[in-house]
Amino acid sequence: MNGFFMVAPFTLTTLVNLIVCLLTILVNNFLHNIFDIWSITVRRAFMNPIEYLKRQGFRVTSDPAKYESGVWGKRDYTVDGYNYDTYCGGYHRAYDLAKAHLAPVPAVCNGEVVAGTSRYGNFGGTVVVANKALGIQVIYGHLARNLKVRIGQSIKQGDTVGLQSYTNYDNVRMASHLHIQFQKYGYIPNERAFVCSGIDPLQIDVGGESYDDAWLWHGQFKTDSRIRIRHHPSAHSATDGILPKGAKVRFDKLFVNEGLWWIRIMIRNELKCIAIGKRRTGINFRMADQTGDLWGRVSNLDTSRGKEK
């Protein structure tokens, strides 16, 4: 016989083996890609404040979960007979980290600089940042006296709040480091309670504070479907209810994150975010509103404030 089968006999078994081989390659590549996507999603989905600082080059030098007492925060750190934790009954409910003397200290989350912030505060150079959405306030201590923020100032994650140093209330000798302490949201009038109280930050999610891009545009948006309300512009951020179909909301900021368009809105006197459509390569926001990529309609758009710097 002449033809293909004389050159390379092709049996049913060969065909099956070829199909199995191709399927194996496809499945392995698919699983590999899915794993990569899943890994990226998990990294974006949750990041505690200590992990955030470690990614900025800080290393943990004192971990309240690893003290010899076995009790979270019970440290009793004593050098040459001086117990640094006497005032708080032996407790140090905070983390100590270090990078380099006078290294810039980044804010671990967005927030407002509040009372307790002082060049000569309870922790030497002290900055306190409150974040109502997360339900926390963060104390940054032992900073250089020339603080980089002031009370009443709004800051973003990553903004420099101060410089790593060794200032302190008692003017005792200590190595340069960052003292960072987390508390529940709200002013604490009692000095000892302010200095000594602290919560475990490892369950606090600051991963949603980051995003790919943002514009200070504002306008109005009417939903075409029900949309989840979230604390941050991330599908992994905590939810806070649902906007019904046909709802009209005003927004004051536009984001791109996780392949979606997001806007910041005011709900019950609190700033929240909603995803309003898929972001496609080569399609800007104005075009997306015309091509049906958004889950609603934009009106009264004002772009005069431009892109966030």
Q: What is the pLDDT of residues 149-164, one digit of tens each?
A: 999 999 988 899 999 9
**Bigger pLDDT: 22 or 111?**
111
Check pLDDT > 50 for residue 274.
Answer: yes
Residues 195 and 57 in one domain: yes
- Can you give the CATH number for the domain in which 271 is found? 2.30.30.40
For residue 213, what is the enclosing H or E element? strand 213-215
Residues 77 and 183 in one domain: yes
- Can you give the CATH number for the domain in which 115 is found? 2.70.70.10
| Domain limit, last residue, from 148, 171, 203 | 203
pLDDT at 29: 53
Check pLDDT > 70 for residue 36.
Answer: no
Residue 173 lies in a domain: yes
What is the average pLDDT value for the chain, to the nearest integer?
Answer: 88
Residues 80 and 197 in one domain: yes
Check pLDDT > 70 for residue 302.
Answer: yes
**What domain count does the chain have?**
2
Mean pLDDT of 187-211: 90
Beta strands in 99-159 (DSSP E): 104-106, 111-113, 118-121, 124-131, 136-143, 154-155
| Domain limit, last residue, from 203, 233, 257 | 203
Residues 179 and 278 in one domain: no
Q: What are phi and psi of 54, to 5 degrees?
A: -60, -35
Lowest mean pLDDT: which of 17-26, 107-116, 254-263? 17-26
pLDDT at 46: 72
CA 56 vs. chain centroid, Å, equals: 13
pLDDT at 10: 58
What dihedral angle (degrees, nearest 10) is formed by the CA atoms of 296, 283, 215, 204?
A: 70
| Domain limit, last residue, from 172, 203, 234 | 203
pLDDT at 9: 60
Residues 125 and 215 in one domain: no
Residues 199 and 217 in one domain: no
Across 31-40, 149-158, 265-274, which has the greatest mean pLDDT? 149-158
d(CA 221, CA 219): 7
Residue 13: band (very low, low, confident or very high) from pLDDT cuts 50, 70, 90? confident
Mean pLDDT of 259-287: 92
CB count within 10 Å of CB 242 equals: 13
Q: Record the pTM.
A: 0.62
**113-120 CB contacts, 8 Å cutoff, 24+ apart:** 113/149, 113/150, 113/151, 113/152, 113/153, 113/154, 113/155, 113/161, 114/151, 114/187, 115/151, 115/187, 116/194, 117/147, 117/149, 117/150, 117/151, 119/145, 119/146, 119/147, 120/145
pLDDT at 277: 96
Give just the sign of the alpha carbon dihedral 176, 94, 72, 45.
negative
pLDDT at 232: 82
**Bigger pLDDT: 111 or 17?**
111
Residues 75 and 191 in one domain: yes
Domain that holds residue 66: 49-203
Q: What are phi and psi of 179, to 5 degrees?
A: -100, 120
pLDDT at 179: 98
Mean pLDDT of 45-61: 90
pLDDT at 33: 45
Give residue-wise pLDDT tens across range 102-141.
999 999 999 999 999 999 999 999 999 999 888 999 999 9
